[in-house]
């Protein structure tokens, strides 16, 4: 099912032709040459959709342009994270694990990170994404969640960010159902239909490097 915007500005859910093969091959199975078994598709979109699927969904990217989302969870998953500038990469803090955290051992201070699952409604088709954020957006979301327009999954929400680094700020704009079609060209019923089969992401969607990898990074910094 997909969200589609008509020229008049209204949004409907269009049923897509079912191109699912009779059965799917497991990752470890060798495809057969039998044309009745090999999944064959048609069209430009299908031809471009050849990237391997990851168990780590895309992160929702925020900027000056507001992104319309529907929250699929109302409580965050939280952890602490190191950011190593020389690698331009974050590493989940391993403090509390049996061997401890090598980055903490060299004095690197981790920061709190949080994640919630959202449906990105900014394109024709709704997509499950993970919204990762720090303390600033956490406060904004918690205020909305506990306020008169909460909980977070009650209405669609427009999210945007402004500035960079320590100066960054966020806007969390709740869109009530009665305003959704006029402002976004999407009906509440269309949103509900588009996300009805979506599942919230779990802690396994947060990539955690191995102890050995984190140790190697820590040793490279001293």
More confident residue, 29 or 97: 97
Q: What is the per-residue pLDDT across 145-162, written as a single tens digit (0 to 9) for each?
A: 999 999 999 999 999 999
Asked if the model's pLDDT at residue 64 lies above 80, the reply is yes
Give 71's pLDDT tier (boundaries 50, 70, 90): very high
More confident residue, 132 or 1: 132
User: pTM for this one?
Assistant: 0.74
* 160 neighbors 66 (Cβ within 8 angstroms): yes
Asked if the model's pLDDT at residue 47 lies above 90, the reply is no
Give 10's pLDDT tier (boundaries 50, 70, 90): very low
Distance CA 166, CA 138 (A): 15
Confidence at residue 7, expressed as pLDDT on a 0 to 100 scale: 41
Confidence at residue 30, expressed as pLDDT on a 0 to 100 scale: 32
Nearest to 104 by CA among 221, 13, 9, 189: 221
Mean pLDDT of all residues in 52-68: 82
Task: Say which range, 8-12, 38-42, 139-143, has the weakest mean pLDDT.
Answer: 8-12
Give 57's pLDDT tier (boundaries 50, 70, 90): confident
Q: How far, CA to CA in Å, does 68 sit from each of 9, 137, 161, 222? A: 16, 16, 13, 44
Task: Say which range, 19-23, 87-91, 113-117, 157-161, has the weakest mean pLDDT.
Answer: 19-23
Mean pLDDT of all residues in 24-36: 34
Give 55's pLDDT tier (boundaries 50, 70, 90): low
Compute the Cα dihedral for 93, 204, 119, 138 and give only its sign: negative
Confidence at residue 211, expressed as pLDDT on a 0 to 100 scale: 97
Confidence at residue 165, expressed as pLDDT on a 0 to 100 scale: 87
- Domain borders along the chain are 57-220
């Amino acid at each position: 099912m997909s969200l589609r915007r008509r020229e008049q500005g209204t949004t409907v859910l269009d049923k897509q032709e079912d191109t699912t093969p009779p059965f799917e091959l497991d990752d470890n199975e060798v495809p057969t040459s039998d044309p009745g078994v090999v999944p064959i598709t048609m069209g430009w979109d299908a031809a471009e959709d050849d990237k391997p699927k990851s168990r780590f969904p895309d992160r929702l990217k925020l900027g000056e342009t507001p992104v319309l989302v529907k929250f699929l969870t109302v409580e965050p998953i939280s952890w602490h994270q190191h950011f190593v500038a020389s690698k331009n990469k974050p590493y989940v803090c391993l403090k509390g694990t049996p061997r401890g955290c090598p980055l903490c051992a060299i004095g690197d201070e981790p920061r709190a990170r949080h994640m919630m699952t959202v449906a990105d409604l900014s394109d024709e088709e709704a997509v499950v994404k993970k919204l990762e954020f720090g303390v600033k957006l956490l406060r904004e979301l918690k205020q909305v969640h506990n306020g008169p327009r909460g909980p977070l999954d009650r209405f669609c929400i427009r999210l945007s960010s402004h500035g960079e680094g320590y100066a960054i700020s966020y806007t969390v704009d709740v869109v009530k159902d009665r305003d959704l079609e006029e402002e976004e060209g999407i009906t509440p019923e269309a949103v509900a239909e588009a996300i009805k089969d979506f599942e919230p992401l779990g802690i396994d969607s947060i990539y955690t490097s191995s102890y050995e990898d984190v140790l190697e990074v820590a040793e490279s910094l001293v």
